[in-house]
Structure 1
């Protein structure tokens, strides 16, 4: 598997098909090869006696062949629709979240639907998507059916952490590829109503935060001069501000953990909130 490859968790569901189309669009802009990964989980059914009076295993070999045919056809159809792209399909064995996490170490990007066949209707992001996003070795993009917009800016949340700076680099590259503005969101927490520091000036605090972000942006502005940057610095909750900004965005990008994240947490509260509530695809960028 190529380190530049876009890996797609594919199971034939509607969400997986939306994720596949998003990944193909991304590959068309970047020229990266694409690989569909169907993870086939064998289950030994205790107490069930199959042919030959042996303990039963479900699904059986016939089901696996059906899966292989499904993946082969999806890859072939995608390659036929996008003749300039390299598209392959592969079936892996094992628990889906664990296998996708392992395979992400050899990929440049992993794209998932928010819920597969096993998802519950009330959950906006399934357990596999959340788990893989927390543990993957490359950037993960989670796409939900009905939210893959092709217009609007790329939005990124920055807070000065190393994780958010990696997210900023990922976001500016996506904005240039799409020829759209980059909207940079910096949220800062105002003091509580019960205790305000003597001489506290909210305008001065906002100006200080803006200056910090401008310093972080300086190198990217120089490297990507064609990208229009819209910097917005606001007091408030970062997750709420990013969810609101996602309403008119085509992609929102965050680091896996920001300054407020506990070191033992692999996925911060902001990224988790976005996975469940964003109105556009979410990219979570973490260190390899």
Structure 2
């Protein structure tokens, strides 16, 4: 069965950029694309959604003629609609900004959908570049899935993969003590190096650069995004609440990254249920 990519489409320039990104992704992965327009009228006046979608489909087919693309309008709010559809999707793609009344209660559309979706979410930002795919990982059980998603993206795009593991610096009373070296020890780095070795074995054709550093994760990943074509991060949450929250780092990157951001959810709470 082909993979299914769903694009949240509202006719804005941001959603048009998301559509083109999704079409390119579908061409790389032999997936289908479905545009979903959430018609929130009468609260939000949406002029002629059918003609808007028809033009969008024509643009999409012109960009990637071999990709199967469909479109539909639903009478519902955008955020809960996309979250619900994520249960049967392989990927949700949305623009960096979007229009939704519900988003005003939960934050931006990108933050709300990225936090609650049950599959990976790609938030299209900035201009497309030919830089590396960057993966930001931590020491949690999310790291292998984040890295696997990033490696697959790098392989499909024939791009190098840059993996960053940032340990936040010690602050406060302990900051100036001799035991604080602001360096990553070999023991601390060992699980990270093991993870890199495993992904290197799985993707031998991908050029991988691994960086372990003491720095604020949000700051170092924001800086890395300036020269990346895609930044891949994980969602926050454990146990019954896994996938329902975005940490401060993820929220910062969704607002400030220079490139497109992919948020990967732990498979215990995500992925298509078919």
Mapped partners of 2:243, 2:229: distance in 1: 31
Note if 1:161 corresponds to 2:140: yes
Which stretches in structure 2 are left out of the alignment for 5+ residues? none
Note if 1:32 corresponds to 2:31: yes
TM-score (normalised: structure 2): 0.86
Contact 1:256–1:267 (8 Å) recurs in 2: yes
Which stretches in structure 1 are left out of the alignment for 5+ residues? 45-57
Contact 1:22–1:148 (8 Å) recurs in 2: no
TM-score (normalised: structure 1): 0.82
**CA deviation map 1:58-104 (0-9, x unaligned):** 759xx5xx212221231133123311110111111111101111011
Residues 263, 178 of structure 1: CA spacing in aligned structure 2 closer, same or farther, 3 A cutoff?
closer
Partner of 1:100: 82
Mapped partners of 2:169, 2:108: distance in 1: 34
Residues 70, 245 of structure 1: CA spacing in aligned structure 2 closer, same or farther, 3 A cutoff?
same
**CA deviation map 1:102-135 (0-9, x unaligned):** 011111100100112569xxx9xx6211111110
Note if 1:9 corresponds to 2:8: yes
Residues 20, 183 of structure 1: CA spacing in aligned structure 2 closer, same or farther, 3 A cutoff?
same
Within 5 A, what are the aligned runs for 1:25-104?
Answer: 25-43=24-42, 59=45, 63=47, 66-104=48-86
Paired residues in the alignment total 261
Mapped partners of 1:176, 1:255: distance in 2: 19
Partner of 1:174: 153
Contact 2:99–2:109 (8 Å) recurs in 1: no
* Structure 1 runs, 4 residues or longer, greater than 4 Å off: 196-203, 262-265
Q: Which structure has the larger Rg? A: 1
RMSD across aligned C-alpha pairs, in angstroms? 2.6
